[in-house]
Amino acid sequence: MDNSSSDHDSQPEVVSNIFTERFTEFNDDGTFKNELVEHTIETEATVPKLGLMLVGLGGNNGSTLVAGLLAHKNQVTWESKTGVHTPNYYGSFTQCGTTKVGIKKLPKGGIKDVYKPVKDLLPTINPTDMEVTGWDISKDNLFEACKRSHVLEPDLVNKLESDLSQIVPMKAAFNPEYIAANQSDRVDNILEGTNEEVIELIRADIRNCKERNEKVIVLWTANTEMYLLPELETIEDLEKAIKDNVSLPASVLYCVAAIKEQVLYLNGSPQNTFHPGVLALAEKEGGLLGGNDFKSGQTRFKTAMSDFLIGAGLRISSIVSYNHLGNNDGKNLSEDKCFQSKKISKSGCLDDAIEGNEILYPRDGKDIDHDVIIRYIPFVGDSKRALDEYSSKIFMDGVNTISTYNICEDSLLAVPIMIDMVVLGELFSRMKVDGKAFGPVLSYLSFFFKAPSTNHPEYVINSFNRQRETIVNLLKAASGITPDDATLLSFNY
């Protein structure tokens, strides 16, 4: 592998590496051929000043992200009844994850693995260097928003008051038909106008942010919307719906604005914003998309647990996933039209695992009994309870049941993942493979999403391990390190 870089006065420095991809291609008759394909992977090495625009800035995730980054930036410590705390990025794959990059031969014989932080494989942004702004249907400033969310300790929120209270969400695009009626009491900050006018106003906000930053990313972390049916099949359908002022979900308006401004749009909620017409528009206009629905807790665990169970040859036969939460997300999801969006995204995460094992899952229509239940229990606030029961058939038709009970602060799991998708989404937008940029969908971000969008809808990876390996190997290949084939054949293992 060639690890060279070129450096011209007028051009950004580029990390350029040749990588030989290896895969095996099968024919219908079972014959196969091993392929070797050489690729050049180029990454612009200059890290831009980034503006992150959150849709739903004043929500639990949005306000927690801003406060968390401020605490990091200013190295603020805070006290709770358990002692003094300092900021950390635990839960962030980029900031706290490491990966095996190779081996070292020991002087007295034998080998030792060498690990590197994921964030150091290629130049990536420092999260605290981002400017974070955004929109919310509530005009409460972020100090008020943090107080309302009950996520972070009061001592920390109070220490950040002077910074937080200066951050006020911009007026938001809003369509009440698509979120729960119980959200109406927070609506006091909305843009008025036709679809076209609102898109123009959002574009103007994005352009303002561009003036202060070299790159901008828009991330939807607002309420879950209901699924939009019928779908917008073509660019013409989409443009007609906009022009005729058809009632469209706010997410489609933000997404179209982001595409037109050629900034990455990430969808952290389950609704189907990326209709075929939206994808086609992104392709045509050079837009970038990533989604859908942060994979933070129960679903993330499920895609790791299924790696373990199905990977061990056990036949998972039923999974019942129940959870209750008491934050505003739970309140919004208590209306069925929004819950159905979440149920869809939480339910599809085992499709590729089932598809991948015809011994356990012959194509007889008898897959897994899989149900997802969510209840709104205000008392528990952001501290979500998730109870899962995995029942697997084992040897000679025995049954093995594993139950898990997880309690966590929902937003404290989600925020590090939001940071990761922004850090890597920004990096991937600086990369080219064989001279071609990624897109319109950044499929490599699948690791962070419950229902990943890809450029090939028939090819979606949900497995936790495969998703992680795919990202890590791309980063290694792009940085000149050989992805590990794990055979250890050279080391007399």
Q: Which amino acid is at 86?
A: T
Decide: 293 and 267 in contact? Cβ < 8 Å: yes
Establish whether 100 is a catalytic residue.
no
The least CB distance from residue 487 to ligand NAI, in Å, is: 37
C-alpha 122/C-alpha 120 separation (Å) is: 5
DSSP letter for 359, please: T
Greatest distance between any 2 Cα atoms in the chain = 76
The least CB distance from residue 28 to ligand NAI, in Å, is: 40
Please report which helix (H) or strand (E) contains residue 115, including its range: strand 111-117
DSSP string of 156-213? HHHHTHHHHTT--PBPB---GGGS-GGGGGG---B--S-HHHHHHHHHHHHHHHHHH-
**Interface with ligand DG6 (CB under 6 A), residue from 299, 453, 462, 467:** 299
Q: How many residues line the site for ligand DG6 (CB under 6 A)?
A: 16
In the complex with ligand DG6, the residue whose CB is nearer, 78 or 448, is: 448
Q: Which residues bind ligand NAI (CB under 6 A)?
A: 55-56, 58-61, 135-138, 172-174, 179, 186, 221-224, 250, 268-269, 293-294, 296, 327-329, 332, 410-411, 413-414
The least CB distance from residue 493 to ligand NAI, in Å, is: 40
The least CB distance from residue 290 to ligand DG6, in Å, is: 16
Encode 199-225: b = buried (16+ Cβ within 10 Å), e = exposed: bebbbebbeebeeebebbbbbbbbbbb
In the complex with ligand NAI, the residue whose CB is nearer, 196 or 283, is: 196
In the complex with ligand DG6, the residue whose CB is nearer, 255 or 412, is: 412
Establish whether 384 is a catalytic residue.
yes
Establish whether 215 is a catalytic residue.
no
Is residue 370 part of the contact set for ligand DG6 (CB under 6 A)?
no
Rg for the chain, CA atoms, rounded:
23
C-alpha 408/C-alpha 482 separation (Å) is: 37
Q: Which one of the listed residues 293, 388, 410, 420 is annotated catalytic?
A: 293
In the complex with ligand DG6, the residue whose CB is nearer, 261 or 329, is: 329
HSE of 341, CA atoms in CB hemisphere, 13 A: 26
Place of tokens 């064989």: 434
Contacts of 31 (CB under 8 A, 6+ apart): none
Establish whether 450 is a catalytic residue.
yes
Is residue 323 part of the contact set for ligand DG6 (CB under 6 A)?
yes
Neighbouring CB atoms inside 10 A of 148's CB total: 17
Binding residues among 419-478 for ligand DG6 as defined by CB under 6 A: 450
The least CB distance from residue 417 to ligand DG6, in Å, is: 9
Partner from ligand NAI, ligand DG6, none contacting 325, C-beta within 5 to 8 A by type: ligand DG6
Decide: 92 and 417 in contact? Cβ < 8 Å: yes
436 forms beta bridges with 433
Binding residues among 205-244 for ligand DG6 as defined by CB under 6 A: none
Is residue 346 part of the contact set for ligand DG6 (CB under 6 A)?
yes
Contacts of 167 (CB under 8 A, 6+ apart): 57, 66, 132, 133, 141, 142
- Which two tokens mark 338? 């929004």
The least CB distance from residue 418 to ligand DG6, in Å, is: 12
Is residue 416 part of the contact set for ligand DG6 (CB under 6 A)?
no
**Interface with ligand DG6 (CB under 6 A), residue from 296, 411, 453, 463:** 296
In the complex with ligand NAI, the residue whose CB is nearer, 290 or 483, is: 290
The least CB distance from residue 460 to ligand NAI, in Å, is: 18
Q: Which one of the listed residues 119, 215, 342, 343 is annotated catalytic?
A: 342
In the complex with ligand NAI, the residue whose CB is nearer, 315 or 343, is: 343
Residue 417 — φ and ψ, nearest 5°?
Answer: -70, -35
In the complex with ligand DG6, the residue whose CB is nearer, 430 or 450, is: 450
Binding residues for ligand DG6 (CB under 6 A): 295-300, 323, 325, 329, 333, 342, 346, 374, 384, 410, 450
Name the residues annotated as catalytic. Answer: 293, 342, 384, 450
